[in-house]
């Protein structure tokens, strides 16, 4: 940064000067953008952990300490709306050597049967939180495998971490079972458990003869308990997989007023133009949020060993956005059989989404897909934008323009939480060695 950096780490009142902030991430501030990419050149005043002023950049020096970020881009902290913290970081002990979806399912099932004791789940989930926090994430929604006794085990650990990390990362939990589970007594018990924890009811929708009955049951359970819904839908290239359409129809039928998210929705990009239009119309009427997971979908979809993929695996984000559907991007799996890579980094998610989905030239407001839009989905209205009166929760990059931002990992980013600079050192992988290698 600048020589002034050391001065402002010990004060509660300071300025961040000479910054670039995307216009779409500034709220209730009247400032004109100065670049073709709609970046605003601004100065921010921070006092007692809050942003108290946002003004057009001026060369005039303030009376309080300041830091000159040399036109570096500033984002609000990331919001990761679809993750699997309970599966994370098991790849070394349970690799997916074929890279296929089927092997991923089977490998995770075996790993859970053999290793998912409370300490194992807790430490791997906390490792993911450490990575997320250090890189600028402020809120995470994680799916939790919830068949049988695993539900209580995982939700207990989730609740423990939720309380321990409440001043650093906001946590939301979603049950993860196949939808047929809700047709049984155990499914109703799971819905009760989710409601008791104040979390989100969720499951995997796949085409089968009972899909309509399963959806009716899930929506009924959710309405009775006044909880939000979050589905895995159409994680396949099969154009005949129309779960997203059926979820939308069920939402309209049940007049469901709480929030609904649908993750993946890959098959939408493989369907006819007519079916896509019909589905998107229903999705909009049902007020469904779509979460695209480009990293995992690029990894698993169209995967045949020793064969070059012909498709990038992602849903039709452009068609969805054009019709006003809220679209978010998220991490999904991290270093497990469903995705062998990943680092819980919101910038990596955005950068690869830009590359995979062709979101550049013009970037428009795609940068809101990892902060502002997921904040609205997750009922976090106080997060996701930069505005006067908000907590100073910011990620500061040296990159001045989007071409610079997406060209490098930005490992030298600075993260401010409630007006204080935090340690951005990532945890070492060897913290998990006794779990992964001492089996």
By the 8 A CB rule, do 335 and 342 touch?
yes
Q: Which of 37, 45, 126, 235 is catalytic?
A: 235
- 433 in a structural domain: no
> Looking at the structure, do residues 22 and 146 belong to the same domain, yes or no?
no
> Looking at the structure, do residues 164 and 94 belong to the same domain, yes or no?
yes
- 249 in a structural domain: yes
> Looking at the structure, do residues 209 and 337 belong to the same domain, yes or no?
yes
> Looking at the structure, do residues 362 and 400 belong to the same domain, yes or no?
no
- 324, 350, 377: which is the final residue of a domain? 377
Q: What is the pTM of this model?
A: 0.96
Q: How many residues does the chain have?
A: 439
* Owner of token pair 């600079």: 421
Q: How far apart are CA 402 and CA 135, in angstroms?
A: 18
- 429 in a structural domain: no
> Looking at the structure, do residues 339 and 395 belong to the same domain, yes or no?
no
Which residues partner with 414 through β-bridges?
Answer: 396
By the 8 A CB rule, do 354 and 298 touch?
no
Q: Tens of pLDDT along the chain (439 residues)? A: 344 555 566 678 999 999 999 999 999 998 999 899 999 999 999 999 999 999 999 998 888 999 999 999 999 999 999 999 999 999 999 999 999 999 999 999 999 999 999 999 999 999 999 999 999 999 999 999 999 999 999 999 999 999 999 999 999 999 999 999 999 999 999 999 999 999 999 999 999 999 999 999 999 999 999 999 999 999 999 999 999 999 999 999 999 999 999 999 999 999 999 999 999 999 999 999 999 999 999 999 999 989 999 999 999 999 999 999 999 999 999 999 999 999 999 999 999 999 999 999 888 899 999 999 999 999 999 999 999 999 999 999 999 999 999 999 999 999 999 999 999 999 999 999 999 986 5
Closest to 229 measured CA to CA, from 239, 238, 219: 219
Which residues partner with 230 through β-bridges?
Answer: 202, 261
**CATH code for position 160:** 3.20.20.140
> Looking at the structure, do residues 164 and 261 belong to the same domain, yes or no?
yes
Q: Strand ranges (DSSP E) for 114-221?
A: 137-145, 170-176, 201-205
Taking residue 381's Cβ as centre, other Cβ atoms within 10 Å add up to 9
Q: How far apart are CA 439 and CA 184, in angstroms?
A: 35
Q: Is 148 helix (H, G, I), strand (E, B) or coil?
A: coil
- 352, 377, 402: which is the final residue of a domain? 377
- 439 in a structural domain: no
For residue 235, indicate whether it is catalytic: yes
Burial of 357: CB neighbours in 10 Å, binned 0-12, 13-18, 19+:
buried
> Looking at the structure, do residues 247 and 349 belong to the same domain, yes or no?
yes
By the 8 A CB rule, do 250 and 260 touch?
no
> Looking at the structure, do residues 135 and 119 belong to the same domain, yes or no?
yes
C-alpha distances in Å from residue 25, one per residue of 29, 79, 157:
10, 13, 34
> Looking at the structure, do residues 278 and 333 belong to the same domain, yes or no?
yes
> Looking at the structure, do residues 82 and 14 belong to the same domain, yes or no?
no
Domain count, the chain: 2
> Looking at the structure, do residues 326 and 397 belong to the same domain, yes or no?
no
For 312, the domain range is 78-377
C-alpha distances in Å from residue 389, one per residue of 104, 132, 214, 381:
45, 25, 45, 13
- 437 in a structural domain: no
- 27 in a structural domain: yes
- 267 in a structural domain: yes
Radius of gyration of the chain (CA): 22
**CATH code for position 400:** 2.30.40.10
> Looking at the structure, do residues 70 and 95 belong to the same domain, yes or no?
no
DSSP 316: -
- 431 in a structural domain: no
């Amino acid at each position: 940064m600048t020589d002034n950096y050391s001065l402002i780490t010990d004060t509660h009142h300071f300025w961040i000067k000479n910054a670039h902030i995307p216009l779409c991430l500034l709220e209730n501030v009247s400032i004109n953008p100065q670049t073709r990419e709609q970046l605003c050149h601004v100065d921010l005043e921070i006092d007692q952990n809050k942003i108290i002023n946002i003004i057009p950049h001026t060369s005039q020096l303030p009376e309080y300490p300041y830091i000159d970020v040399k036109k570096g881009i500033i984002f609000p902290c990331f919001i990761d709306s679809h993750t699997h913290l309970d599966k994370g970081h098991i790849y070394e002990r349970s690799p997916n050597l074929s890279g296929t979806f089927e092997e991923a399912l089977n490998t995770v099932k075996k790993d859970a049967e053999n290793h998912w004791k409370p300490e194992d789940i807790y430490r791997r989930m906390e490792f993911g939180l450490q990575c997320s926090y250090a890189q600028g994430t402020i809120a995470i929604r994680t799916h939790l495998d919830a068949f049988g006794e695993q539900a209580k085990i995982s939700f207990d650990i989730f609740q423990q971490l939720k309380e321990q990390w409440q001043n650093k990362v906001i946590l939301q939990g979603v049950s993860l079972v196949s939808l047929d589970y809700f047709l049984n007594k155990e499914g109703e018990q799971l819905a009760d458990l989710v409601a008791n924890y104040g979390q989100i009811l969720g499951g995997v929708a796949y085409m089968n003869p009972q899909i309509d009955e399963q959806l009716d049951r899930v929506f009924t359970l959710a309405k009775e308990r006044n909880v939000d819904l979050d589905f895995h839908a159409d994680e396949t290239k099969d154009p005949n997989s129309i779960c997203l359409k059926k979820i939308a129809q069920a939402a309209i039928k049940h007049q469901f007023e709480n929030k609904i998210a649908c993750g993946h929705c890959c098959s939408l990009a493989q369907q006819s133009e007519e079916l896509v239009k019909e589905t998107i119309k229903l999705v909009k009427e049902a007020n469904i949020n779509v979460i695209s997971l480009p990293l995992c979908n690029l990894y698993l979809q169209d995967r045949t060993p020793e064969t070059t993929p012909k498709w990038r695996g992602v849903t039709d984000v452009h068609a969805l956005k054009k019709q006003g559907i809220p679209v978010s991007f998220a991490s999904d799996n991290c270093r497990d059989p469903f995705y062998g890579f990943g680092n819980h980094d919101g910038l990596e998610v955005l950068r690869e989404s830009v590359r995979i989905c062709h979101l550049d030239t013009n970037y428009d407001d795609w940068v809101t897909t990892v902060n502002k839009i997921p904040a609205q989905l997750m009922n976090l209205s106080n997060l996701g934008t930069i505005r006067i009166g908000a907590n100073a929760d910011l990620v500061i990059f040296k990159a001045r323009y989007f071409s610079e931002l997406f060209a490098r990992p930005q490992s030298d980013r600075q993260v401010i939480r409630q007006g204080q600079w935090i340690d951005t050192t990532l945890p070492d992988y060897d913290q998990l060695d006794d779990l992964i290698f001492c089996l």
